[in-house]
Chains A and B, each alone.
Chain A
Amino acid sequence: MAEVKINVDDCIGCGICVKKSPEGYEINDEMKAVVKNPNAPGIKEGADDCPTNAIEVIGDVAPAPAAAPAPTAAPSTKPGLAEYKGVMVFAEQRGGELVKVVIELLGRGRGLADELGVPLSATLMGQGVEGLAPQLIAAGADTVYIIQDPRLEKYNTSCYANAMIKLINSIKPEIVLYGATHIGRDLAPRIAKRLGTGLTADCTELTIEEGTNMLLQTRPAFGGNIMATIMCPDHRPQMSTVRPGIMKAIQPDASKQGEIVNFDAGLTDADVMTRIIEIIKERKQVANLEDAKVIVSGGRGVGGTDGFKTIQALADVLNAEIGGSRVAVEKGWISKDHQVGQTGKSVRPQLYIACGISGSIQHRAGMQNSDFIIAINKDPTAQIFTVADLGIVGDLFEIIPVLIEEFKAADFGQ
């Protein structure tokens, strides 16, 4: 006799347990899993496969039904899937220039392709963009597919999607990667939908599963509070959008040989669903703290309103927003809307620079999920150093002016 417990708080109602053991589990009206029969076949497998480990099985259990499919069958055993071979990268360009993430995708794509023993291709779309192909080959591509058409000169969803779908159906790659840019995240979902395949958004890690050769796609969810690994077992291609700045590019190799293939997508005016009237470039608008990429924060060590001018100078050179600790706000050195912490704002910028902040629990609660943290503080025992990736012990008024010059010299963040 088995006893099965389900932690309702952890259940996300995904239904995987029901699939493993239709007689053992069901989803109730609250979209939570409940136990129908703890002694049903497959009850243990349902618990084992629960992605949030919400199910606990105690005692002896019935074995899985004999007919149950293997949890992860090799793709080659499924008809059709084996036809899909190779890794493809969508080589996004804007105004005739490759977007940086493309080179990163080729770097990671190269690794995946080598592990699978398959070729890596890049797909370049636009008008008069063939000159970019050598860069893609140097960055790792074996083949560059070029689709040129006046309708592809500026990005528009339907033409790009239609062209890409034709190419994918013709080449049949097993993996297609897109940058998680405003264009990649507009385009890829549309392609996935029409191809009837899966798409995992904003991935930060891509690996190949041993044995099955399937793509394991890992991404943050719940505002970065949890990570999830997603698979696309029965459909091809396996597609991901990938967060810019995460994957490592390989050293460009100008001597690398590659093939350039022109592909005719046969677009007509009927493929055009939206028209770009104009594209306007602008310097990043002043954003609020929650959306800021970089935040420079000051605390007790800043000493006063004048001290915040130093913080402002550093923020200016980094195109950053300014934050403050509770002390700085309570003393009136900076206004309340800049306060970071449990009683202020929770932020997670790409870079957080804490200057003269001791790092009380309440401050750390509001900023410790930042991607990268720098702490500058006189006191080497300050709590802020426990969450910092890099720390400098010293007087912020001495350090920041030097730092500003270094950032300027390196053209950082421009």
Chain B
Amino acid sequence: MDIIVCVKQVPDTTDVKIDPKTGTLIREGVPSIVNPDDKHAIEEALRLKEKFGGKVTVLSMGPPQAGDALREASAMGADDMVLLCDRAFAGADTWATSHTLGEAAKKIGYDLIICGREAIDGDTAQIGPQMAEHLELPQITYVRKVESADGGKIVCERALEDGYERVEANLPALLTVISDVNKPRYPSVRGIVEAYQEKEITTWTAADINADSACIGLDGSPTSVKKSFAPEPKGEGEILEGSTSEVCKQLVTKLMDKNVVR
């Protein structure tokens, strides 16, 4: 089973600090990491490969340093690394990104594509479904367990807000996985040596995947960012006054009115 895993290099948003004076993000010194959901995607691909054979290709779009994320994935056990790197890809929204990744996937070839549910910098969860649409594949999103993948079919548990559903699709298909699906392995020493010293990253430009310039980068993006800004600081809080029973009643009423827990 040949599997493509899409990987994104992201800033570690749990480490992002806000400049208290300007209210803007301080990006300096924020480490770049492999997007957490994507690690689970890599792990699931490796487990399927161990069961069914084939190879795992990790695919990323980004600047040259995004190759680090691919090497980390390779150290876990992925066979091949492909980086889509071209100035023409810059400014892509999810439409253009899924077009670009989809065209690369066609060139690589696959039985299954696995993506993390979402990236922690953009939080859109749109790349997986849009790639599936681009490639006209069945999709199963929010996968929390892969039950079986033989006989040309895949059966997964897809998480819902109030439970889950068991879904079957014919291969080839595309999955997006959530962190419940598995526990990613640590890279082996041999894996690290191979990934960082022996293996080469295949780098493709827009021309290498025959991308239509109208469908990639800024030109291929229907959406544009009008502005970005720091979230409004919290307003002054309210101290509830009255007897214990009064304040408790007020508190519950306010929580219900404001629809705080959804």
Contacts and interface: CB of A to CB of B under 8 A. Distances in A.
Contacts of A31: 62-63, 87, 90
Interface residues of A, number: 103
B163 A279 contact: yes
Interface in A126-184: 154, 157-158, 161, 181-183
27 contacts: A10-B27, A13-B63, A27-B87, A157-B129, A158-B138, A181-B161, A186-B141, A190-B139, A193-B133, A197-B222, A199-B223, A201-B125, A202-B123, A221-B121, A223-B14, A226-B24, A273-B137, A273-B169, A279-B165, A372-B258, A373-B237, A389-B237, A389-B238, A390-B239, A394-B247, A406-B248, A406-B251
A193 B141 CA distance: 16
B247 A222 contact: no
Main secondary structure of the interface of B (DSSP, over half): mixed
B133 A194 contact: yes
Contacts of A305: none
A307 interface: no
Contact of A190 (B133, B166, B261): B133
A198 B218 CA distance: 12
B126 interface: yes
A390 B121 CA distance: 30
Nearest to B228: A228
Interface in A224-241: 224-235
B54 to A, nearest CB: 22
Given A9-B27, A185-B141, A231-B224, A222 B121 contact: yes
A399 B244 contact: yes
Interface string B139-159: 111100000000000010011
A198 B248 contact: no
A380 interface: yes
A371 B223 contact: no
Contacts of A18: 90-91, 218
B141 to A, nearest CB: 5
Interface of B: 11, 13-14, 16, 18, 24-28, 62-65, 85, 87, 90-91, 93-95, 98, 120-126, 128-130, 132-134, 137-142, 155, 158-170, 217-218, 221-231, 234, 237-240, 244-245, 247-249, 251-256, 258-262
Contact of A392 (B91, B134, B155, B247): B247
A234 B222 contact: yes
Nearest to B262: A245
Interface string A87-115: 00000000000001000000000000000
A399 B125 contact: no
B87 A274 contact: no
B227 A229 contact: yes
A58 B85 CA distance: 33
B47 to A, nearest CB: 21
A242 interface: no
A350 B94 CA distance: 27
A118 B6 CA distance: 41
A70 interface: no
A372 B194 CA distance: 48
A216 interface: yes
Given A198-B93, A350-B262, A389-B238, 6 more contacts: A190-B130, A199-B95, A274-B140, A284-B162, A390-B254, A405-B248
B159 A277 contact: no
A157 to B, nearest CB: 6
B237 A277 contact: no
A198 B87 contact: no
Contacts of A1: none
Contact of B226 (A201, A216, A225): A216
Given A230-B225, A235-B222, A279-B165, A221 B123 contact: yes
Nearest to B230: A226
B252 A403 contact: yes
Contacts of B98: 193
Nearest to A366: B14
Contact of A244 (B27, B258, B262): B262
A181 B161 CA distance: 8
Given A9-B27, A398-B244, A282 B260 contact: no
B13 A225 contact: yes
Contact of B161 (A27, A30, A182, A402): A182
